[in-house]
Structure formats: structure tokens, C-alpha cells
Amino acid sequence: MQVPAIERYFFANWYVKHGRRFPWRRRGVTPFGILVTEMLLRQTRAEDVARVWTGFRRAYPSPDKLMRARREALQAWLRPLGLHQQRDNALRSVAQALVRRFGGSVPSAKEDLLSLPHVGHYIAAAVRLFAFGLREVLVDTNVTRLLSRLTGVPLGPDPRRDSRIHELACELCPDDGVKEHTYGLLDFAATVCRPRT
């Protein structure tokens, strides 16, 4: 199965002109900042995360600070996003693992990232791509829908784990400019290729 002919840098170029501008996409965001962002984005609209992101990162710039956060203060930041107790536990667990096992640094190796609590394949790939510039392909629900519509591949019960969808995403991904391509793909899928239209 192949994707239809699409200009090589279509999604990267689309991102430059139309992409969403979030604070975690600016230069200088640390690998820990990227990891925290991806954990906050789980089951949450990016626009909602953007509202609390800057203040949250100022309050908890490092794993050590996050690990030692007072529960009431941390949950106050997380409450607007929902699932605040779950997020509190997940973020605190990750921070503790980073401090105790990695000296407070976020590792770049996939196996190390996957060994962290509450970090699955998607978050590990996102951290490797956005924090370390390593070539990774990200497939979320919106990208799955887009690739299904482009190719006619039917969506199964768990489409994000469908190997055909991942193969299509890999085929679509250029060899360079992967970060901009991925931002464009994620944004196009979220804002143009909507669930109903």
C-alpha cells in the first residue's frame, strides 16, 4: 500500500504557513520540558495544555523540583487539564525515576525512555524526535484517520497499532526536516482532516 503522490515537503511547508504555535515548540525547551509536555498532552487538547504550560514549567523546571512538589500545589496546576490525581502520580513517578536512575537527565535511548513509568512508545518517540532530533515517526489518532483517508486503508479496532498505518507514515516521512514534517502532519490532521470532514 502506498500513499498517493504528495509533494515531499508538503507537511513541513504547510506547518511553516499554517501550523499551530505552542510554547513547547520554541527553541531552547529542554528534553525534560518535552517529556512533561507529551505527558500533559495525553488525552488532552493541546490548546488546554498551552494555557498552563508556561507557568507549570516555571514552577517545575527540573525532575528534582517536580519530585519534591507539594501535592496540593502540583494538583492545582493540573486540575484545569482534568485527571489531576492521575497526572500528579505519573509526573511524580517519572521525575523520581529520572533523578534516581539517570541523574536527573532525560535519556535519549528508546529502551531507557520505555523503562520510565507511564512512558509508552508514542511518548518515547516524541521525546526522541522533538528533544533530541532523532528520526522517529509519530502516529496519533488524527494521523491514523488522515492516512486511512489518503489510502483507503480501513481502520481496525486499534488503528494506532496497525502496522500498515505505521508503514505508510514511514513512507511519507522525509529523510530530513522530520521535526517540521511531523508538526505539519499532526497539525494538518488535527485542524484540516477533522473527524467529520
Question: Which sequence positions are flagged as catalytic?
Answer: 38
User: Which cell goes with 95?
Assistant: 521525575
How many Cβ atoms from other residues are within 10 Å of residue 37's Cβ? 25
- Cβ(93)–Cβ(115) under 8 Å? no
